Each structure stands twice: as C-alpha cells, then as structure tokens.
A and B are shown apart, each in its own frame.
Chain A
C-alpha cells in the first residue's frame, strides 16, 4: 500500500520539524535568560564600582569624583551609560595608589566590571543573533522577553600595564 508510506513519511517529517522547532525555541529561551542574568550581574558590578568610588571620594579626592559616583548610582536607565562613562573619566583623572586599600577596591571593582561588561556584550550578541533568525521571528519565539539590549560604555579598566590589555 503506497498510500501508507506517504502517511508514515509525512508523520516522520512533521515529527522532525516539530522537534527542530522545540529545540530552537528552547535555545532562544536559554540564550534570552542568560542575557538577562548577565545584565543583572553587570548592574551589580556597576553599583559596586560606583559605591567603591564614592567611598574613595569621601576620603581623598573630593567633590567632583563624589558627584560623578552619586550621579552614576542614581542615574535613570536612559542616562546611565553616559553617567558611567563620566565616572570612568573621573577615575582616570585621579592618581590612584594601588597600595591604598580604598584605591585597590576601586581598581579591582573596575577590573571586574570590565569582565562583566565583556561577558554581557557577548551574551547579548548571542541572544540577538538567535532572535533575529527568520524562523525564530516567524514563530515569534522569545516574544515574552524584551529585545536584549547592549550596554554601551567605554572600557572601564583603570590600570593597563603592557600585560594587562583587556578586550575592547
């Protein structure tokens, strides 16, 4: 009965397509969730750096650095990138002494912020690539999440000796 083979063949094809779609949907969901968690970690590191800078400013460097740190801490989402870049500039303008624990805290916080930024950028890129695929858009996978957004700031690394070239 050739008719039956058609049915079997069609069922297999439909099954494979369905499996692929489910797998793709899971993949999009996973990448999406990961980009969101990375954004949370990035947010935490931004707050840590600003807090460390505020502590340092109170003790040593005065108003301008303190203001920049405050503005970064209080910034609205749409102003935040500019505020963080401003804080990076202020930190670069002052002479930081790595042997002082407060300075070291700012340097370490900046270094870890640079890593969080790098990881976040990569994961957002992965999520955006997955979501912009035609099949994903056609089936509107991942529509429950907002479109993943880059956080576009300058490299916040403070000390860059020859061996310490962080990604840009």
Chain B
C-alpha cells in the first residue's frame, strides 16, 4: 500500500505526536508498505529518508505550549505537490483540526483520508463556535482514530462522530534488554534499599510529584538505603529544595534525558512510580516502563487502570493518597516475587501495544477507509501482510 502520513508539528523539536508518527511510519515500512511522511522541518535539519520537508515552521502558541507548525500559501503548494507526486492509496493525517499542513492536506485530498486525534481537547465552546468551518474539514475525513478513550470521548461529544480507539504504540524492541545505568538500581532487601523512579515534569501539579515526595520522605525515614531517581525538565535546586536536607543525597536528578536513554533510566529502578492526579489521556510512560521490564506503581486513574489491565500488570493505589502509595511501595520492595509476577504480566500486556501489532490495526482502518471510498473490499491477507 502507498501511504502518505502528515505530521503537523516540526521534527526539529521532539514531541509526542512526532514520535508517534515516526514509530508508526517505521512499523508500516517494516510490514512492507511504502510510506512518505510530510512534516515541517528546516531545510538543513537531518531527516529520516522517508520524511519530506514541508518547509520552515513557525512557533505558535497552542494548547498551553508552543507548537512549531507550517501554514500558508507556500506550505499549501508543497502539500499539494506532495499529494500529487505521492499518488497515495490512503492519506493519514494527524491532528487535522490544528491550523497546520494536516488541515491543508485534508482540504487538498481527493481519496480516502484517515485522521488520528491525539489531544483530548475539552474546550467545547471554541469547538462548537467553529463547528460550521470545522465541518468542512471533518466531512473530508473518511475514518477517525483516537489514541485514547478521552480523545474519543471528545470526538463523540463535541465533534459529533465516532472514532476507532487505537492506543499509542511502544517500540518494545527499543526498550527491552537495555542495560541499567552503572551502579543502578542497587540493593533491595527486606526492610532496606530499593530504588524508586519518576520521569516527567516534577513542577507540574497533575503529574503528582508531591505525592511521591511525601511517600518517599515518610518511607526513607524508616528504610535505610532507599533511593529516588528523577528525570525530566526542570531546575535541580527547585527539586532538591522540596526534600529535607538529610535526604537530599538519596535523591538523584538526571535532568532531561534523551529519548534513547529513557529505557536505561527505566531499567535503573526497582519501581517506576506514576503518581499522576489526572489529565493523563493515555499513559504512554507506563507502557514504556512495562516494555523496559520495570515494575510499575500508578495512581488508579481510568487511563492507567486500562493500560495496567486493572492492576494485573502493575500495582494501583488510590489517586492522591501518599500514605497508600508508601504502603504499596513497602509491600513491593519487600517482595521480589510479587514484582516478578507483575513484570511477567506486564510483558503480556505490553505485547498488545507493540508497534507492529498497533500498525496492523491501523492498516485495517486504512482498508476500511479505502473500501468506503470505492466500495470494493480488500482481502484480509493483504491488510495483515508481513
């Protein structure tokens, strides 16, 4: 199949959508399909061979952060040319409701269009105000994919349409079998030692870092050798100020780790903790921790509950409850057998999120879109072909 994928955000800066697009493209190429990705990028930036640049991007504040996107007459011309030259069987656009090349591509497309919605936008008033204009974009889309239950809910409630829920994939092969950082995770015996991990913005309240901090402070007082490994953007002083002085040497801060080192960081801890208090639409980091073979402890948000198969693949604790977290951590640190059982389940669960598996499900949606556009039906063997 000839597949054209459009990514609205620039590959010059890392981001969730960009990673998703790259991993999906590589998985589809691995399954034997021809893939071309169109994305904004500076002329001289190095790009994978399957990426075509849609021109320079401009930073634009969007949805609370800054997105680098391309839009305008030059981009329109490039998008049109790419579509014409590509002669794609199906066009797969990401986030088509942002003012970006994704929207341009939808409006220029003639054949079947599959759209993936990543963010769970809840600004319903904006959406309903622009409904008429959005309808013109939406009605050119043949099939919609939502990456999380929350993103799908937005589709149903505000955009008046259904969507197939296909979760974010995780490149299991990239995470499995990585070596931990030297000297980690260290000893972990009953009543002593053990390493906890946290990855993400510790300053952002919905990531729930204060809950982990409270549990760590409480636990460290009676558990010698307990350590905490933190990675993510932020100022080290700001992090260490949150801990009492006598505990600061038991906290290690790695700063922002590059994507490639994430797996090693996750391997370097006995327990990965996700104390989020809400707003997490999918829980990508949990699947990554599971893929790395790390035991996961997470708050019992709906999204986490689903990823962790209702607590079978990782232990859940009551959201926001530091005492319950401390209790769960003690139990698991003292019980290597329970940890092994959870990671064994985690291996099974994460197999469902492996990119080749997820890409096959995306291919079935492509097939549905193509079929709905020309009325003929595609063979199963062809859709699932290796």
Q: Which residues of A contact B (CB under 8 A)?
A: 27, 31, 34, 36-38, 40-41, 44-45, 48, 105, 108-109, 111-112, 115-116, 118-123, 125-126, 129-130, 161-167
Contacts and interface: CB of A to CB of B under 8 A. Distances in A.
B144 A41 contact: no
B92 to A, nearest CB: 14
Nearest to A164: B352
A109 B162 CA distance: 20
Dominant SS at the B interface?
helix
B38 to A, nearest CB: 24
B364 A111 contact: yes
Nearest to B287: A163
A115 B143 contact: yes
Interface in B321-361: 349, 352-353
B380 A112 contact: yes
A126 B134 CA distance: 12
17 contacts: A40-B375, A41-B377, A44-B371, A112-B364, A115-B143, A115-B368, A116-B368, A116-B372, A118-B143, A119-B142, A119-B143, A119-B372, A126-B161, A161-B352, A166-B164, A166-B165, A167-B164
A78 B154 CA distance: 33
A159 B374 CA distance: 29
Contacts of B167: 163
Contacts of A167: 152, 162-165
Nearest to A118: B162
Given A31-B139, A34-B373, A119-B143, A125 B368 contact: no
A112 B372 CA distance: 12
Contacts of A126: 138-139, 161
A163 B353 contact: yes
B135 interface: yes
A115 B369 CA distance: 9
Q: Is the interface of A mostly helix, strand, loop or mixed?
A: helix
A122 B143 contact: yes
Interface of B: 135, 138-139, 142-144, 149, 152, 160-165, 167, 306-307, 309-310, 349, 352-353, 364-365, 367-369, 371-377, 380, 383-384
B376 to A, nearest CB: 8
Nearest to A163: B352
Contacts of B373: 34, 37
A70 to B, nearest CB: 21
Contacts of B138: 126
A28 to B, nearest CB: 10
Contacts of B162: 118, 121-122, 167
Contacts of A125: 160-161
A30 to B, nearest CB: 9
Top 8 closest pairs, chain A to chain B, by CB: A41-B371, A38-B372, A115-B368, A40-B375, A37-B375, A163-B352, A44-B377, A167-B162
